[in-house]
Amino acid sequence: MRKICLIYTGGTIGMKQNPNGKLAPVDFDQLRASIPALALLPVELDVVTVDKPVDSSEMQPEGWIDLVERIEEHYQDYDGFVLLHGTDTMAYTASALSFLIQGLKKPIIITGSQLPVGVLRTDATENLLSALEFAAMERDGEALIQEVCIYFEYKLYRGNRAYKRSSNEFDAFSSPNYPALAESGVRMSLNEDLLWKPVESILRFQKKVDASVGVVALYPGLDFTKVPVLEDWKVILLRTFGAGNAPNTPAFIDFLQRCEKGGVQIINTSQCVSGRIVPGLYDSSSALEQFNTLSAKDMTFESALVKAMVLLGRNLGRDEFIIKFSESLSGECA
Q: What does DSSP say about strands 101-102 and 204-205: parallel, antiparallel, or unpaired?
A: antiparallel
C-beta of 71: minimal distance to ligand ASP in Å?
A: 20
Catalytic annotation on 9?
Answer: no
114 counts as binding ligand ASP under rule CB under 6 A: yes
**Cα Rg, the chain, nearest whole Å:** 21
- Interface with ligand ASP (CB under 6 A), residue from 2, 11, 297, 330: 11
Local structure of 290: helix, strand or coil: helix
C-beta of 232: minimal distance to ligand ASP in Å?
A: 27
Q: Which of 323, 299, 332, 309 is nearest to 236 (CA)?
A: 309
- Interface with ligand ASP (CB under 6 A), residue from 19, 20, 42, 57: 57
Amino acid letter for position 94: A
Residues 6+ apart with CB under 8 A from 80: 2, 4, 5, 106, 107, 108, 109, 135, 136, 143, 145
61 counts as binding ligand ASP under rule CB under 6 A: no
Number of residues that bind ligand ASP (CB under 6 A): 11
Q: Are 204 and 197 in contact (CB under 8 A)?
A: no
C-beta of 160: minimal distance to ligand ASP in Å?
A: 18
Local structure of 160: helix, strand or coil: helix
Stretch that binds ligand ASP, among 32-40, 52-60, 176-184, 197-205 (CB under 6 A): 52-60
Of residues 63 through 92, those in contact with ligand ASP by CB under 6 A are 86-88
Rounded CA gap, 54 and 41, in Å?
Answer: 27
111 counts as binding ligand ASP under rule CB under 6 A: no
Catalytic residue numbers, as ranges:
12
| Contact positions vs ligand ASP (CB under 6 A) | 10-12, 55-57, 86-88, 112, 114
